[in-house]
Amino acid sequence: MGKQAMGTPGTALRYRSDNKIYRLQTGQTPIVRSPLYSEYGLDNFPNGMNAVVAVISYTGYDMDDAMILNKSAHERGFETKFIFGKAYQRIGIRQDWLRIVDMDGLPTIGQLVRDGDAVFIYRGSEDAYIDEVRLLGSEGGDSKPMQEISIKYRIPRPPNIGDKFSSRHGQKGVCSQKWPSIDMPFTESGMQPDIIINPHAFPSRMTIGMFVESLAGKSGALHGIAQDSTPFRFDEENTAADYFGHQLKVAGYNYHGNEPMYSGITGEELHADIYIGVVYYQRLRHMVNDKYQVRTTGKISELTHQPIKGRKKGGGIRVGEMERDSLLAHGGAFLLQDRLFNCSDYTQTWVCRACGSFLSTMPSVRGSSFGSMVRCRRCADGLGGRFVGGKDTTVVAVPYVLKYLDVELSAMGIAMKFNISP
């Protein structure tokens, strides 16, 4: 998970202008770390935070790999991050720009911009702040005036429901709820966890290192020391649990890291002691704001008249063969019709009852008293008699791709015939 974690990308961040870069705003040094962590200078590049983690089944919002986040911890800046981006703009100014530019006609640093603002035609679904403005010289050197500006903006991304987190042991989870602090379980000392995870995450994965880190982090926080996480320091006679458990016992806590906790909703003591400690958690770059996709109406393909694909273009999510088979197995006939027809490429077309062929309409007007009609030229008499024959036509609702298939086969000399029920 370390490659997917967001941290401090470098010391020269203020001088860089990347197309997209992530930065963890409130990073911390882990309590449990190896000596190489300090030797390599990784304290200057934190990629996570020390979180108080309780292992408990509390409400239904922590099922599977979901995790409950303390809302107060979130409001205090827990795992808050920024996305930095850049844009280029030709130099010029109009009167409607004056609200968000300074006296030089440049965007004001710290100005909040929204989708469509004319400062540099910012295109984004999220509000951003102007972080830096640079003037770029022309290729002709000093003899020609400056022609472009480089604008760096930042988008705040506090933790949101659906964002992904992980410990350093691969125990990744998705934030399912930001739980109010008053409803969070609490210990006898009044401590509330920052994160609640489900105990069923451990038996099959056997991430024992996370148990040990929880003990080590808790004892290190109580004694104000950084714990050494160098492997193979312990054996079966001198175990890590005994070593850190003794430190907890000296500090006045349970030897095994368990504590009695009380329900934040009812105030009653929970039936079992809860395993609670300090674990270093990382925020991963998989965020719901980058992945959610929704569509009501929008662009369609010119060829098939079906919704286009692609999240950036406002496209739809495809209902494929497997989804169709599932709906068929459940008997969802009306849902199938809605997804594959009504909300896809519904179209109305003229068809001839006599010969069963689709018609490309060319309305003919005989006179104002008769109005207009649609005739099938294939079924007309063909002897030059005007408006003779081919009048048995009607309108049917079909998928547009059926018409597309009809013309494709016609191009190969294959005619399709449709039987029209009255």
Average pLDDT, stretch 130-153? 72
- pLDDT tens across 203-212, in order? 999 999 999 9
Q: Is 118 exposed, middle or buried (0-12, 13-18, 19+ CB in 10 A)?
A: middle
- pLDDT tens across 20-37, in order? 888 888 888 999 999 888
- pTM for the model stands at 0.77
In this structure, the number of other CB atoms found within 10 A of the CB of residue 223 comes to 13
Average pLDDT, stretch 122-150? 73
- State the CATH architecture for 346-422: Alpha-Beta Complex (3.90)
The model's confidence at residue 136, banded by pLDDT at 50, 70 and 90, is: confident
**Residue 54: which residues within 8 A CB-CB, separation 6 or more?**
185, 193, 195, 196, 197, 261, 274, 275, 276
User: What residue ranges do the domains of the chain occupy?
Assistant: 13-80+160-283, 81-157, 293-302+309-344, 346-422
Look at residue 393 in the predicted model and tell me its pLDDT.
85
Share of the chain above pLDDT 70, in %: 86
Look at residue 371 in the predicted model and tell me its pLDDT.
47
pLDDT at 385 over 70: no
Average pLDDT, stretch 125-130? 84
Average pLDDT, stretch 8-27? 83
Look at residue 92 in the predicted model and tell me its pLDDT.
55
pLDDT at 173 over 70: yes
DSSP 8-class letter at 264: T
Which fold, 81-157?
OB fold (Dihydrolipoamide Acetyltransferase, E2P) (2.40.50)
13-80+160-283 matches 346-422 in fold: no
Sign of the C-alpha dihedral, residues 261, 263, 269, 272? negative
Point out which residues pair with 397 in neighbouring strands. 348
Could you identify the residue written with the tokens 């996305």?
Answer: 83
Look at residue 151 in the predicted model and tell me its pLDDT.
83
Look at residue 369 in the predicted model and tell me its pLDDT.
44
43 in Cβ contact with 29 (< 8 Å): yes
Look at residue 19 in the predicted model and tell me its pLDDT.
83
The model's confidence at residue 370, banded by pLDDT at 50, 70 and 90, is: very low
- CATH code of the region 13-80+160-283: 2.40.270.10
Say which residue, 110 or 324, is predicted with more confidence.
324
Average pLDDT, stretch 98-120? 69
Q: Is 329 exposed, middle or buried (0-12, 13-18, 19+ CB in 10 A)?
A: exposed
- pLDDT tens across 236-258, in order? 888 999 999 999 999 999 999 99
